[in-house]
Amino acid sequence: MNSFKAFRIHEVDKKIVARFDTLTLADLSPGNVVVRVMYSDINYKDALAATGAGRILRRYPLVGGIDLAGVVETSEDPRHKPGDHVLVTGCGLSENHDGGYSEMARLNGEWVIGMPAGLGTFRAMSLGTAGFTAALAIHKMEHNGQSPDKGPVVVTGATGGVGSIAIDMLAGRGYEVIAVTGKESTVEYLKSLGAAKVLMRQSIDYGKRPLESAQFAGAIDNVGGDMLTWLTRSMHDGGNIASIGMAGSIDLKTTVMPFIIRGVNLLGINSAAQLRPMRLVVWNRIAGDLKPRHLDKIVSATIPFDQLPQAFDAYIKGTVTGRTVVKIGA
């Protein structure tokens, strides 16, 4: 393939302009592995980058898409051979390196993960960064002593990609999962993924005391702000909070009391910056004991490449439930 289609993000007169361009490999960021892309996906970060609602890119122009899965075309890295099915999530794609919204991608072999048995390119992008982030959070919580017998784990921002997959994974591991959402219409959806209970965000009394009644043994938080503040004050002794997102706010207004009286642990989860050894461990768990059971429910749409530009607005408005997979190549 001498030329190919890519969805590239430009800055024109200090405004973001995203469009389909025809490129060659010479136009892409340098790398030692070339992949024919089969599927990508849409994350909130992708929507921010493509619409200009958030300044994600460090340079312009860049191909969008922080995730991809496909087949190796050529490789100068001995770990990867032509014909291998592979995936890449994060690692600076669509930030400082051309990303996955392209029929061809040129990548650093260190970022490329051989497809774990039982996934495949479509399933890998049904998970993508969202699935990797959810699994990384659970992995780090369990490394820090989390277990089902300790008590319930609450998941906020539950209808998003990370939240939905986290509920599925936790329930599959035997945890009692409590989902928090602002969308009353999604209660049955969340229960179908394994949530034992659904709390409506609007009905939560966040309280004002440094320590509130202990309700949860752990939490995966996609919201930040008042929600995360409430979680720090509502953990059982030794509870783990995996802080993943800031859909509500970047602020955290709390005291040291939860940390020094109850021994609460606040675990920051940065999935994009994980090194290869941890990526291999987590992806193997995703294909094993953390394998989601309800991806068919979580993937709410599979769209052709041509329809990608029209899909971002729903993410900015916060109306998306679950995951969207983008079919790039044949």
Tell me the domain boundaries of the chain. Answer: 4-115+294-327, 129-268
Mean per-residue pLDDT, 30-54: 95
Are 70 and 37 in contact, with CB atoms under 8 Å apart?
Answer: yes
How many Cα atoms sit within 13 Å of 272 on the Cβ side? 17
CATH of 4-115+294-327, one of 3.40.50.720, 3.90.1150.10, 3.30.700.30, 3.90.180.10: 3.90.180.10
User: Could you read off the pLDDT of 169-197 as tens digits, one per residue?
Assistant: 999 999 999 999 999 999 999 999 999 99
Q: What is the largest CA-CA distance in the chain?
A: 64
* 129-268 maps to CATH 3.40.50.720: yes
The structure's pTM equals 0.95
Is the confidence at residue 330, as pLDDT, over 80?
no
User: Could you read off the pLDDT of 268-281 as tens digits, one per residue?
Assistant: 999 988 999 999 99
> Which residue type is seen at 81?
K
Task: Give Cβ neighbours of residue 307 (< 8 Å, ≥ 6 apart).
Answer: none
Q: What's the pLDDT band for 14 if we cut at 50, 70, 90?
A: confident
Q: What's the pLDDT band for 114 if we cut at 50, 70, 90?
A: very high
